Chains A and B, each alone.
Chain A
Amino acid sequence: MFDMNPYLPHEALIIERIQEAPELFTLRLEFTEPEIQHRYKFEPGQFNMLYLYGVGEIAISIVSDPEDGNIIDHTIRVLGRVTRGMNKLKKGDRIGLRGPYGRGWPMQEARQKDVVLITGGLGCAPVVSAINYIQQRRAQFGRLNIVQGVKHSDDFIWKDRYDQWRELPDTKVLLAADVGAELWPWHIGPVTVLFDQLEFDPQNVCVMMCGPEGMIRATCDHMLEKQVLPEQMFLSMERNMQCAIGHCGHCQYGDKFVCKDGPVFSYDKIRDLFAVKGF
């Protein structure tokens, strides 16, 4: 038997299941082998491979805090075969888990800087891990800007969390929906029109983004205009990941393997290919 076989999952127990929205749920997990749980360490922005018995594996980012004791949280949207099956799991059920993989957000580098967090599309778990991290250590960071854009106001989830974040000191929360239902109190239109309201020092800021690549491109263009260095702009990318260890080749992005060189990249590392169709 291989001691450190990077392909082999380990059993994990569902401690709690939270229904976040109709098609979105959080599984709170703990390894059943205490030794493995003890060794397990991760950074915000990293991901795990979750295995549904008899169905297969899927890459899911970790949303809990790295110092949050033994619980590892994953917020999962129902999209394919594996996530549809996982949606039916309950507290006390078991799944497989291996990880963590990839490079996460530059939380150390962002310390003492203003932080701009921009997400678009359907609930953006990778960025939420960074927001949670800053929330727990608010004094270590400068001004905080949280921007979330959704297609339709009905897609907006985690209203309570956004309300909580709005109460944090020196924190601005800006929301936008392309289409707003009645009584949607926030902006209607693309997130980019909110950018003039952001408060940050372009020379001392860390931008973290996740969402549709068109939105990220627009955001990066705006930040470059504001003289933010591309090295200070970070985004989490999504590609087909099957092995998570840089071997299977599906997640290649030019010369990068998103699973091990990412999923978080600084913009300067990938800008040549960014938003080029087919990569």
Chain B
Amino acid sequence: MFFQTDQLQHLLDNLQAKGYACIAPQVRHETIIYDEITSVVQLPQGINDQQQPGSYSLSANNGSKYFDWANGPQAIKPLLFAPTEMLWSSTRNADGNISFSAVEKSEKKLAIIGARACDIAALKIHDLHFLQQQFVDPYYQARRENLLIIAVNCSHPADTCFCYSTGDGPFVKDGGDIVLTELQHGFLIAAQTEQGENVLSKLVLQESTAEQCAESERIKSNASKQNRQLPKLDVKSRLFDELDSETWHTIAEKCLSCGNCTSVCPTCFCHSENEVPELDGKSSSHYREWDSCFGQGHSYIHGITIRNGTSLRYRQWLTHKFSSWIDQYGRSGCVGCGRCITWCPVAIDVTESVAQIVEAP
């Protein structure tokens, strides 16, 4: 189906009427971030992004499209798996009795507009990790159940994108509620779930024409031409064959162990638990916060740091992401979004790192 660009505001209004807060891209801090909007004028219209290893910038192209860019540093991850959140609190009375209470479930309904194929692939991985293993994470679950996803197919991959090579993009296969393709004069729109159908039924839509479908196919074909890719070798076993490779040390000489890559990675799930007691001693709060395998404390056990250097930490990150992740979740932990390349302050390119390790003679 097709709808005119001016219907986009109706979509926002309808979602808000259904009680959703609309989370959508907007230009802020010289990048594109996702936050609440109420009007389409807040969207990044006529904006392109330029991404290179270690650099990100935006420019105006005077066009009318809203989604003419690849991605920003955030994805869906912070909306469901909060960067920091309280899990529970405890109080202690004068007799020394301790009582615990969990943080109440979040009932806020969120509609995310403009999620990309890579982000949705990452979301599915987090669903597996937080919801479909032995233990269900109630905090993630509460937000997940209240999330509606309006995805947008990618038209302009960045120089750092390689989702075509991981098989996750540039178009959304499934996992969204609604998928949009932005054409020159409007959007193709399709529902992928019943929830999505309900939203669609409130919009004024037209049958899409053959010409519009052909335009969409051209966009897909262009967006699939990406500058970067992963090696076509057996990366999974090659990485563990090369645990002693000198290349780990070569990369580590450059790597700052800053953890930017793990922060922007849409699939990294490590987090630490921290206690924040009140000064009066009567109560205390228990938080979790994103953590990184690049940090000193990540592998610490009573006096021993198991990964006491950058080469071991980089090796942990890469072998986990591209190899042991497959044993854990049935697929690689990389969705090809390229964020770790763009946001690395020293421009380490993960596709190059993997190639250097696995293509060693």
- A residues near B, CB below 8 A? 1-2, 5-11, 32, 51, 53-57, 79-80, 92-96, 238-240, 242-243, 245-250, 252, 254-255, 260, 272, 276-279
Contact = CB atoms under 8 A, between A and B. Distances in A.
Q: Determine chain A's interface SS by DSSP, over half rule.
A: loop
B291 A249 contact: yes
B300 A240 contact: yes
Given A242-B273, A250-B298, A250-B299, 19 more contacts: A1-B101, A7-B87, A7-B286, A11-B97, A53-B90, A55-B275, A95-B98, A96-B98, A240-B300, A243-B271, A245-B135, A247-B129, A248-B272, A248-B288, A248-B291, A249-B269, A255-B328, A278-B312, A279-B316
Interface stretch (B45-53, B301-309, B334-342): B301-309
Contacts of A54: 90, 92, 275, 277, 281, 284
Nearest to A249: B270
A79 B298 contact: no
A278 B316 contact: yes
Interface in B307-361: 307, 312, 315-316, 319-320, 324-325, 327-328
Q: Determine chain B's interface SS by DSSP, over half rule.
A: mixed
By size class, the interface of chain B is: 35 or more
B104 interface: yes
B102 A247 contact: no
Contacts of A254: 319, 324, 327
Contacts of B299: 239-240, 250
B19 interface: no
B134 A245 contact: yes
Nearest to B268: A249
Given A249-B269, A254-B324, A238 B98 contact: no
Contacts of B136: 6
Contacts of B105: 2
10 contacts: A6-B138, A7-B138, A54-B92, A57-B286, A96-B98, A240-B297, A240-B299, A240-B306, A247-B271, A278-B306
Contact of A94 (B97, B277, B315): B97
B99 to A, nearest CB: 7
B138 A5 contact: yes
Contact of B273 (A238, A243, A272): A243
B301 A239 contact: yes
A238 B269 contact: no
B88 interface: yes
Contacts of B240: 272
A94 B100 CA distance: 12
B274 A56 contact: yes
Contacts of A7: 87-88, 102, 138, 286
